Each structure stands twice: as structure tokens, then as C-alpha cells.
């Protein structure tokens, strides 16, 4: 049975299905799960996010080592994210008994995740250019990018935990760390513009660097938006 043949609904106020919960110990391997039209919305969201997390790991390695060895694997994961989004969006259906605010929230989740994939693909393109053309970056710049990716991975992994088990404390942590990363990205952008103005960095490397920073910031904001919306519902539900 295909996804579009099933009437499914993901309620972010409860845990994911027992099947997924029982597989939580293998969550780090979820990115390996193949695309399937039989995926439920619950499974699809978790697998999409896991593939995005793995993409981020691969791109961090590619940028840090100026190596294109992991780029193809990252791009393949990106294609799978797009494929799953299409399956989930076509099959998504909200029952009339569910509150409108939950329907609005859930409908946008696959879209947010796909947009995150778009920005990771943009970063992959920057890594490709860096490797192909030998664009130089200082150790300081490489360390800055590694720090951004590490912070983003922590945020994404904690949000994935919140998808498995909706938890106010974890969601608050995700929002707080997202705010911190957003400020870091803004600070790095301003500092790098100063380096460009003083001639301490080349225009070509500057363009790639700013693209990576802006893409990271955009990915982070999509996670933050989802976490904030989930947090609002979880908080509202707890007050009932």
C-alpha cells in the first residue's frame, strides 16, 4: 500500500509509534533506511531528519579536509530527502477531529525539512568549488565552520530526540541553542565582512564562506521554527 493510499496523521503531542520507539537505540543508523512509499508520516519525518544530520556530518568533513570524497554520499542523501518529502506531502491527511493548529504544524514539517536539504545542497556546492578550484581558507575560518556545523548537529540531534519523545525541556534547549547559533552566524558574517574590507581575505573564498554561513543560519532557523511550534503545543497541552 502506498503512502497516498493511507489516511495518516502525526500528532506531535505524543510519542512516535512503539515500532519506532523500540528502534531508538539504532537511531544513528536511520539515515541508511531506503526511500519507500510505505513509510508512515512518523517514520518519514524521522528518517528525513536523520538523513539531514548525516549530510551535515559529511559536509563538515568535506569542508574541513578540503576533500570531495564524502560529497557524492551527501548529495545522494539530499535526493532521498526530496523523494521522501514528496511521498509525505502527497499522502498527508489531517482528520477533522484534530485541532487546526496541529494540522497546520504537521503539514509544514516535511517542507521545513526539505528546505533544510536545499541549503545543505548549497553548502555541498561550496565544498565542491573549494575542492575543485583549490580555494584557500585559513585555519581560523575552517575552525569557525567546524564550530557552526558542530553546533548545528547538536541542535538537529536534540530536535530528533524531541520528535521521538516530545519533551518541553529538550525543545526549550533546542530553541535556546538555535538562538545562540543564529547570533554566532551573524557575528561571523560581520567579522568576515571586516576581513574582506581590510583585504585580509580573498573575494572568492569570502563568497564561499558567507554562502556556507548563511546556509547554516537558514537551516538552523527552520529547526528553530519547528521546535518553537512544537514547544507551544506541548506547553499548551501540559496546561490543560
**Per-run averaged pLDDT (10 residues), the chain, 240 residues:** 41 49 66 89 91 98 94 97 92 59 80 98 97 92 96 98 91 99 97 86 88 98 96 80
Residue 100: all three cell numbers together: 487546526
Residue 189: all three cell numbers together: 558574517
Task: Return contacts of 235-239, CB within 8 angstroms, 24+ apart.
Answer: 235/168, 237/13, 238/168
The reported pLDDT for the residue numbered 73 is 96
Number of domains in the chain: 1
The reported pLDDT for the residue numbered 93 is 59
Instruction: Give residue 32's Cα distance to chain centre.
Output: 16
CATH number (domain holding residue 53)? 1.20.58.220
The reported pLDDT for the residue numbered 220 is 99
Q: In Å, what is the CA distance from 155 to each residue of 29, 30, 174?
A: 18, 17, 6
The reported pLDDT for the residue numbered 42 is 81
Determine if residue 66 is left, alpha or beta; phi over 0 gives left, psi from -120 to 50 gives alpha, anything else beta. Answer: left
* Segment (H or E) for 8: none
The reported pLDDT for the residue numbered 96 is 38
Name the DSSP letter for residue 23.
T
Residue 28: is it exposed, middle or buried by C-beta count within 10 angstroms (0-12/13-18/19+)?
exposed
In this structure, are residues 168 and 100 in contact, taking their beta carbons and an 8 Å threshold? no
Under 8 Å CB-to-CB from 174, ≥6 apart: which residues? 155, 158, 159, 162, 223, 224, 227
The range of the structural domain enclosing residue 136 comes to 3-239
Amino acid at each position: 500500500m502506498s503512502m497516498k493510499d493511507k489516511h495518516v496523521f502525526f500528532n506531535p503531542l505524543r510519542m512516535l509509534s512503539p515500532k519506532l520507539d523500540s528502534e531508538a537505540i539504532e537511531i544513528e543508523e536511520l539515515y541508511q533506511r531506503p526511500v519507500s512509499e510505505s513509510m508512515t508520516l512518523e517514520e518519514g519525518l524521522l528518517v528525513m531528519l536523520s538523513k539531514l544530520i548525516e549530510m551535515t556530518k559529511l559536509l563538515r568533513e568535506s569542508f574541513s579536509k578540503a576533500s570531495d570524497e564524502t560529497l557524492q554520499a551527501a548529495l545522494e542523501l539530499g535526493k532521498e530527502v526530496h523523494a521522501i518529502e514528496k511521498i509525505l506531502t502527497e499522502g498527508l491527511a489531517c482528520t477533522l477531529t484534530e485541532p487546526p493548529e496541529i494540522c497546520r504544524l504537521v503539514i509544514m514539517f516535511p517542507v521545513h525539512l526539505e528546505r533544510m536539504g536545499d541549503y545543505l545542497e548549497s553548502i555541498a556546492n561550496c565544498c565542491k568549488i573549494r575542492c575543485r578550484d583549490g580555494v584557500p581558507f585559513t585555519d581560523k575560518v575552517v575552525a569557525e565552520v567546524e564550530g557552526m556545523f558542530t553546533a548545528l548537529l547538536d541542535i538537529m540531534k536534540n530536535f530528533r530526540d524531541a520528535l521521538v519523545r516530545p519533551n518541553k525541556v529538550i525543545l526549550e534547549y533546542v530553541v535556546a541553542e538555535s538562538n545562540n547559533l543564529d547570533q554566532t552566524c551573524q557575528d561571523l558574517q560581520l567579522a568576515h565582512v571586516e576581513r574582506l574590507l581590510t583585504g585580509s581575505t580573498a573575494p572568492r573564498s569570502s563568497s564561499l564562506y558567507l554562502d556556507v554561513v548563511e546556509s547554516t543560519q537558514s537551516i538552523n532557523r527552520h529547526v528553530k521554527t519547528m521546535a518553537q511550534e512544537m514547544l507551544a503545543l506541548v506547553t499548551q497541552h501540559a496546561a490543560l
